[in-house]
Amino acid sequence: MNTTKFKSAYLTMMLFMLVIGAQAHALWIHTSSKSEIGQVHPYKIYYADYHENAIEPVEKWYSDVKEFELWLVSPSGKKTKLEPTATEEYFEGSFIPEESGEYRMQISHTADPETGKTSYQFNAYAQIWVGKGKAPSPPESDLALVRKAKSDELQVLYKGKSLSHGELAVLGPDAETQELKTGKKGKVKASLEIKGTYFVEATHTEKLSDNEPSGLKAIWRCATQAIEID
């Protein structure tokens, strides 16, 4: 292989690895699943690929991912925009629950594809239970991943509807990965028997038509939850 062809092949390989890396990383909300009314409830947000044990420092986050918006939805449906603060490795913040029931934290950020042909959308969720009470309406974002309280049942929603045959990967505290697919109602049961953190990620790729005005070929979406089992 001559030098020119070698450089071309090398650049092609590096571009391929960058694309794979963008797909493997995701936004994750780390927080306790339990809280109390009037109690300060802290959280952190990482951009990471836990399968590779890779946590990216904030300054190296892909494209404009660090410009995400974080929303808190109360049991009664009230939406509040939270303002986390950036550190070197993550964003952090807190809120104080005022109602009994299920709170949901959520992010839905479509990154600027820059010059690429694939758009990457990062959705992240956390569910916090404050005593007993009602839950807010299902998420309205393009790809959502939710869980029933104290349950191993997960549900994936795509544009507000159940996503059948949706693909999920569950990385457990024992470093074992479960590869799962949802049923007709977008639901699937995972094994959450070991104490520790489970990293659950659902992915869905939408192929676009050849005459798409933006010039994009596809939209890759992920939805994540970091679930603490104690």
Domain ranges within the chain, ordered by starting residue: 3-229
For 3-229, CATH gives 2.60.40.10
pLDDT attached to residue 5? 44
- Higher pLDDT: 1 or 225? It is 225
pLDDT attached to residue 82? 98
Structure confidence at residue 150 as a pLDDT band (50, 70, 90): confident
At 116, list the tokens: 């690429």
Please check the confidence at residue 141 and state whether its pLDDT lies above 50.
Answer: yes
- Per-residue pLDDT averaged across 84-107, rounded? 98
- Higher pLDDT: 217 or 24? It is 217
Q: Measured between alpha carbons, how far is 2 from 118 in angstroms, rounded to an integer?
A: 31
- If you average pLDDT over each of 12-26, 79-93, 106-120, which comes out highest? 79-93
What share of the chain has pLDDT > 70, as a percent?
90
Please check the confidence at residue 7 and state whether its pLDDT lies above 90.
Answer: no
How distant, in Å, are the alpha carbons of 33, 36, 190, 226 from that of 186?
A: 22, 31, 13, 19
- Per-residue pLDDT averaged across 8-26, rounded? 47
Q: Measured between alpha carbons, how far is 166 from 202 in angstroms, rounded to an integer?
A: 7
DSSP H helices, the chain, are 3-24
What pairs with residue 227 in β-bridges? 198
- Per-residue pLDDT averaged across 210-214, rounded? 90
